[in-house]
Amino acid sequence: MAQQLESTPALLEYVARSSLREDDIARRLRAQTAGLPAAQALQVTPEQGQFLALLVALSGAARVLDIGTFTGYSALSMARALPAHGRLVTCDISEKWPGIGAPFWREAQVAGRIEVRIGDARETLAKLRAEEGPAAFDFAFIDADKAGYPAYYEAALDLLRPGGLIVLDNTLFFGRVVDPAAQDADTVAVRELNAALLDDDRIDLSMLPVADGITLARKKSGESRPSGQERR
Ligand SMILES: C[S@@+](CC[C@H](N)C(=O)[O-])C[C@H]1O[C@@H](n2cnc3c(N)ncnc32)[C@H](O)[C@@H]1O
């Protein structure tokens, strides 16, 4: 049986050459973002963007939540995979970054599907819950500050319909999750959420050792709760 391959630069280049279909608009958004500080660590890879688009299309999602806009590459990728009546709410604490993505969304003719909400994502998600009630979304991508992941996961799970999909980025967090010396708030939050997801019987779960770690959590139908916790 084949084992997990170690990725090498040559293999990653082969994967891109064999499967990446990034178009000119997305490529230019990435090029524009590349000049910003820490852009490479923040922006999803084009392969991830394509994967997110595939998941949105595959799941038939029409209402998507994008937590952590930055310059809008994930928003662009997912919005393009939506049906014409689809809607994507993307949130960021800074209005500076989504402002860079907006012209590219317009050029791709998906700006009408994208709604930007500025503020702490905890507050944005609470407002969405108050405005739209539970189960208002089909799909959520979590990619904001890592210390907020446990809160974003709970809020997203509540905002998702049964059968909806949550995708979490950076769940291996630069490999720090397996470094006992890494005890910073971000690493601890990711590590704790990963452990909690394993025992969470409200979801079907898959963790992919791709890019910086991508976790898929599908909200199950019916009543359920995290194992060992009180029913709320
Ligand atoms: C990893 S980047 C998102 C990358 C984006 N998904 C993309 O495709 O390029 C994380 C973003 O989360 C934002 N952020 C950080 N803390 C936040 C918070 N408390 N609430 C909302 N957004 C936050 C940052 O401003 C940053 O733009």
The one-character DSSP state at 144 is S
Higher per-residue confidence, 206 vs 38: 206
Domain count, the chain: 1
Band of residue 231 on the pLDDT scale cut at 50, 70, 90 = very low
pLDDT in tens, 81-139: 999 999 999 999 999 999 999 999 999 999 999 999 999 999 999 999 999 999 999 99
Nearest CA residue ID for atom 22, ligand 1: 92
Residue 63 included in any domain: yes
Residue 91 included in any domain: yes
At residue 39, does pLDDT exceed 50?
Answer: yes
Residue 200 included in any domain: yes
Residue-range definition of the domain harbouring residue 184: 45-219
* Range with lowest mean pLDDT among 1-10, 71-80, 144-153, 166-175: 1-10
Angstrom distance (rounded) from CA 129 to CA 70: 22
pLDDT in tens, 154-178: 999 999 999 999 999 999 999 999 9
Query: What pLDDT score was predicted for residue 225?
Result: 52
What's the chain's average pLDDT? 94
Q: How far is the CA of 223 from the centre of ligand 1 (A)?
A: 31
Q: How far is the CA of 71 from the centre of ligand 1 (A)?
A: 9
Chain center to CA of 135? 18
For a pocket test of ligand 1, which of 70, 123, 125, 168 has the largest count of ligand atoms closer than 8 A to its C-beta? 70
Query: What pLDDT score was predicted for residue 230?
Result: 43
Nearest CA residue ID for atom 2, ligand 1: 42
pLDDT in tens, 3-16: 888 889 999 999 99
Residue 190 included in any domain: yes
Residue 25 included in any domain: no
Nearest CA residue ID for atom 27, ligand 1: 70
Identify the CATH number of the domain in which residue 141 sits: 3.40.50.150
Residue 231 included in any domain: no
Residues pairing with 218 in the sheet: 165, 204
Q: How far is the CA of 90 from the centre of ligand 1 (A)?
A: 10
Tokens of 148: 């907020």
Residue 32 included in any domain: no
pTM higher than 0.85 for the full model? yes
Residue 39 included in any domain: no
- Alpha-carbon torsion 117, 112, 133, 218, what sign? negative
Angstrom distance (rounded) from CA 176 to CA 75: 27
60's torsion region: left (phi>0), alpha (psi -120 to 50) or beta?
left
